Amino acid sequence: MRSPDSINNKAANEAARHDLFPWPDFLAAHGLSDAYRGEAIQWFMPTLERLIALKQQRPGPMVVGINGCQGSGKSTLADFLCIGLSALAGLRSITMSLDDFYLTRAERESLGDSLHPLLATRGVPGTHDLALLEKTLSALIEKSGNVTVPRFNKVSDDRTDSDQWHHVGAPVDVVIWEGWCLGVPPEPEARLAQPINKLESAEDSDCSWRRYVNSALEAYQPLFARVDYWVMLAAPKFDCVWRWRCEQEAKLRATLADAESTKVMTPEALERFVQFYQRLTEWGLISVPETSHFLYALDRNRAVTDLYYPNVSFQT
């Protein structure tokens, strides 16, 4: 049994280590209250510490994937881990969002004209530039020198000009890759026949759009296989997504000038938009947890209620 002094010393050492994290800048950048610090130390710091230990045990770059529905907090968690890896362990890391690899608006409009009108809307598998994604991920973990990472502007619904892309020196120690459908396998064919919302019933009555999306998801699997460790932020149900996404959009609107803020989606527009994501989000809530290394259960207010380690091959 450890003595009270050793327990107190360990707690003091952990507190000092956690103070290395630049809390004021991080909280301000994400518009978070100081209460988030306590939540992050309780729930996310153990995962950060574990990832640092895992990286120290392996040579070469490491890829961490974060899965979670829209508005679940993926980008905040990714940034927390990225900053923490640097501040606590001196590791060079980068956050990369699946959203930044959408096809351009012109390319999606072309898909909509030639294959199905719903493919003009960003989001689902089949609307990403997989060649660019594979090239970028490979460069970050395999090559040396300057690598440019694309950026997508959700207000203009288009990829930004290349002179606005992020530049990073490669290789990096850790890539934190986040996205709403990361790690999701194709859905069984039998599940596709029945529409699950008004969008599918009215605009995909012949099931051709969702079959195309499901088929396109097959091409994502080799990229998902490059992820070393998976983190999942699991919503209790899909019906939380619309409210969370509305909060996300309001936060975006607050950062924009008046002229640009009018382009942010209204709650009514978001109600339709989230239906594009519903099928694979619900399938992901079923299929992804068992392959996750760090599984966070969220309540309806997006607060973490528990942390699980469901991947039986993973030693915590």
SS3 149: strand
**Whole-number pLDDT of residue 7:** 45
Integer Cα distance of 179 and 137 in angstroms? 14
**Whole-number pLDDT of residue 16:** 74
**Whole-number pLDDT of residue 315:** 59
**Whole-number pLDDT of residue 66:** 98
Among left, alpha and beta (phi > 0; psi -120 to 50; other), residue 170 is beta
- Tens digit of pLDDT for each residue in 180-237? 999 999 999 999 999 999 999 999 999 999 999 999 999 999 999 999 999 999 999 9
Mean pLDDT across 154-171: 93
- Give the CATH class of 4-308: alpha beta
Alpha-carbon Rg for the chain, nearest whole angstrom, is 20
- Tens digit of pLDDT for each residue in 110-146? 999 999 999 999 999 999 999 999 999 999 999 889 9
DSSP character string of 225-257: TT-SEEEEEE-S-GGGHHHHHHHHHHHHHHTS-
Nearest to 230 by CA among 307, 289, 304: 289
**Whole-number pLDDT of residue 11:** 56
Query: Taking the model in full, what pTM does it have?
Result: 0.91
What is the residue whose two structure tokens read 């002094």? Answer: 5
What whole-number percentage of the chain has pLDDT above 70? 91
Mean pLDDT across 238-255: 80
